[in-house]
A = this chain, B = another copy of it.
């Protein structure tokens, strides 16, 4: 399907100003990207947040991670890492064990099955462009600068 301009996507013919247009465009485009990524993940039976946690765990491997560490590294700090780990544990992609040195904490580790799944997903994702490839390297860098400014 041909991608449409933002005006057409949400049937809003005009915007108040360039700021409003950029704002709506930003939220819309982020949702568009997330939806595409979720679709790419679906055959593998994991959701985007689950995938993100698996990647953090692979980064730590073979060291364990705690829930706290997961939250620190997640894009969305307020999401519920505990329950996402629940789902991964029920699929045997991670293990959960009380940390011996601090029994309040929980050592979470990615399993061999989890590592295997991630490596399959790496291949699939390399073949499934994000949309960013439509930008030049300079444009991508420029985009990051603008985004940093928004939050700054």
> Which residues of A are in contact with B by a Cβ distance under 8 Å?
3, 5-6, 10-12, 17-19, 21-35, 72-76, 78, 130-135, 137, 139-144, 146-152
Q: With A3-B151, A151-B3, A152-B3 known to touch, is A27 a contact of B33 (CB < 8 Å)?
A: yes
Asked whether A140 lies within 8 Å of B18 as measured between CB atoms, the reply is yes
Give the chain B neighbours of A32 by CB distance below 8 A. 151
Question: What are 16 A-B pairs at a CB distance below 8 A?
Answer: A6-B147, A12-B73, A17-B140, A18-B137, A18-B140, A18-B141, A19-B140, A21-B141, A22-B132, A22-B140, A22-B143, A23-B33, A25-B144, A29-B151, A135-B149, A135-B150
Asked whether B132 lies within 8 Å of A23 as measured between CB atoms, the reply is yes
Asked whether A146 lies within 8 Å of B137 as measured between CB atoms, the reply is no
Q: Kindly identify which residue among B5, B23, B33, B140 contacts A21, using a CB–CB cutoff of 8 Å.
A: B140
Sorted from nearest, which 6 A-B pairs have the closest CB atoms? A30-B30, A18-B140, A22-B140, A29-B147, A22-B143, A18-B141
Give the chain B neighbours of A18 by CB distance below 8 A. 137, 140-141, 144
Secondary structure of the A contact surface, majority rule: helix
Give the chain B neighbours of A74 by CB distance below 8 A. 10
User: Considering only CB atoms, which chain B residue lies closest to A150 in the complex?
Assistant: B131
The CA of A128 and the CA of B33, in the complex, are separated in Å by 27
The CA of A147 and the CA of B147, in the complex, are separated in Å by 11
8 further A-B contacts with Cβ under 8 Å, apart from A29-B151, A135-B150, are A11-B73, A17-B140, A18-B140, A19-B132, A22-B147, A26-B33, A27-B34, A30-B31
